[in-house]
Amino acid sequence: MDMDAQQGGDGGGAGPLVLGPEFKADAHARYARLRADGPVHRAQFFPGIEGWLVVGYDAAREALTHPALLKDPGPAARTLEAAGFVGHKPKVGLGGQMLEADPPQHTRLRRLVSSAFSPRRTAGLAPRVAQIAHGLIDAMPPAGELDLVEAFTAPLPIRVIAELLGIPRAHEGDFRRWSSLALQVAHPEYASSVASLHGLLADVIRSKRQAPADDLLSALVAVRDEEDGQLSEEELAGTAALLVIAGHETTVNLLGNAVLALLRHPDQLRLLRGSPELMPGAVEEFLRYDTSVERTTHRYAAEDLELAGVRIPRGAVVSVALASAGRDAGVPGDADPAGLDVTRPSARHLSFGHGIHHCLGAPLARLEATTALNILLDRVPAMELAVPAESLSWVPAGMMRGVLALPVRYARG
């Protein structure tokens, strides 16, 4: 496929497709049209930042492990700066951490925090996750209408990651707001939210130095302060910011998207309520069907390259549409990759990435989703959307996919 054939916006047109609010509100239908035209397309990610969007499953796997697609912006740095993008920068952005690093820095940073997210340690969090879920449901009125995002899907993940990191409960609201806006580059409060997040984390880090506790941030501070300097101050702050954002924002939207999918597919909801043992596999299907990370952070072409037949020039910005790859991931004999099937035997997806940047927190996200959803379906046996699904508002910009509110009518058991 020739690059010149891939200039259209949404299956045609004269310019790159614009990944704005209108696109994101109708993302899956638009991704389907793009996949029909090819696996790689020109796109405008944010005002002033254009590049290539990968929408096909096989091309996505290739892009996520391509040796010439790196996190170092190199020749794209000037364009990013002119557009006001700071995501790759330390101190003022989310740089200085493993998601925005290439080997060997990435290898070193990932090793320093990997033990905190091991399957064994994650499994030990199950009782606390269940306790939090039960507490949130206990706090709901016995019946009525409420926003399930505010009542359940948002507070559960932020409380889990805050306790794991050792962040005081009083800061949970600020962290929730600022971390969400830190992923929406086009939002007018983007830069100030990133700065506020860094400032608050710096205060927490200082308190950990004065009074260490049994939490992950105290452990990272200890690593930073060792004589061999394994972790710089910038890396400490960047890693803390990454853990706060990736440790809850993704799961907030995973839970919300999963509940919405079930409410729109009552047959699947009944099936899961009757067979809760299906939930681990169902979580994989939710990740495939409507993942919370719609597309990846930027990668940058370190040299001229070809991806799925499309020529990508050196310095170009490349992002992978994980949401699209999931719907393109049908297996032989699977006639409905766009449908929801909680019994699907092979829910193949790339929602946690692929290659060296595969999500370190995947075991925790799976645990939280499996535990929280089973408890919610068991304890709230009557639940339906309180508004038409078409009226729901979605995260308007950035890499995340999720509903901003999920009004439901319900009755607790």
Place of tokens 């209108």: 22
- CA-based end-to-end distance of the chain: 56
Give pLDDT, residue 300.
94
Whole-number pLDDT of residue 190: 78
In the structure encoding, which two tokens stand for residue 160, read together?
A: 């889990």
pLDDT at 246: 80
**What pLDDT does 13 receive?**
47
CB 110 within 8 A of CB 71: no
The amino acid that residue 11 corresponds to is G
Report how far residue 311's alpha carbon sits from residue 41's, in angstroms, rounded to the nearest whole number.
Answer: 11
Phi, psi of 227, deg, nearest 5: -65, -30
Backbone angles phi, psi at 380, to 5 degrees: -125, 80
DSSP 255: H
Per-residue pLDDT tens, the chain, 413 aa: give them: 333 333 334 444 457 888 888 899 899 999 999 999 999 999 998 888 899 999 999 999 999 999 999 998 887 887 777 777 766 666 656 667 888 889 998 998 888 888 777 778 788 899 999 999 999 999 999 999 999 999 999 999 999 998 888 988 888 888 888 887 877 777 788 778 888 888 888 888 889 889 998 888 888 888 776 655 577 777 888 888 888 888 788 999 999 999 999 999 999 999 999 999 999 999 999 999 999 999 999 999 999 999 999 999 999 999 999 999 999 977 666 778 899 999 998 889 999 999 999 998 899 999 999 999 999 999 999 999 999 999 999 988 888 999 999 999 999 98
Single-letter code of the amino acid located at 21: P
Q: Which CATH superfamily is domain 3-411 in?
A: Cytochrome P450 (1.10.630.10)
pLDDT at 2: 30
Q: What's residue 316's pLDDT?
A: 95
At 175 the pLDDT is 81
Which of the 8 DSSP states describes residue 298?
A: P
For residues 142 and 84, give the distance between their C-alpha atoms in angstroms, rounded to a whole number: 47
β-sheet with 299-301: strand ranges across: 17-18, 40-46, 49-54, 317-320, 299-301, 69-70
Instruction: List C-alpha distances in Å: 285 to 312, 329, 337, 347, 350.
Output: 32, 11, 10, 5, 11
Amino acid at 180: S
CA proximity to 100, closest of 124, 128, 77, 72: 72
The pLDDT of residue 391 is 95
The amino acid sitting at 85 is F
pTM above the 0.95 mark?
Answer: no
Distance from C-alpha of 70 to C-alpha of 82, rounded to nearest angstrom: 20
Q: What burial class does residue 120 get, using C-beta atoms within 10 Å of its C-beta: 0-12 exposed, 13-18 middle, 19+ buried? A: exposed
Give the other-Cβ count within 10 Å of 142's Cβ: 8
Pairing relation of β-strands 305-307 and 310-312?
antiparallel
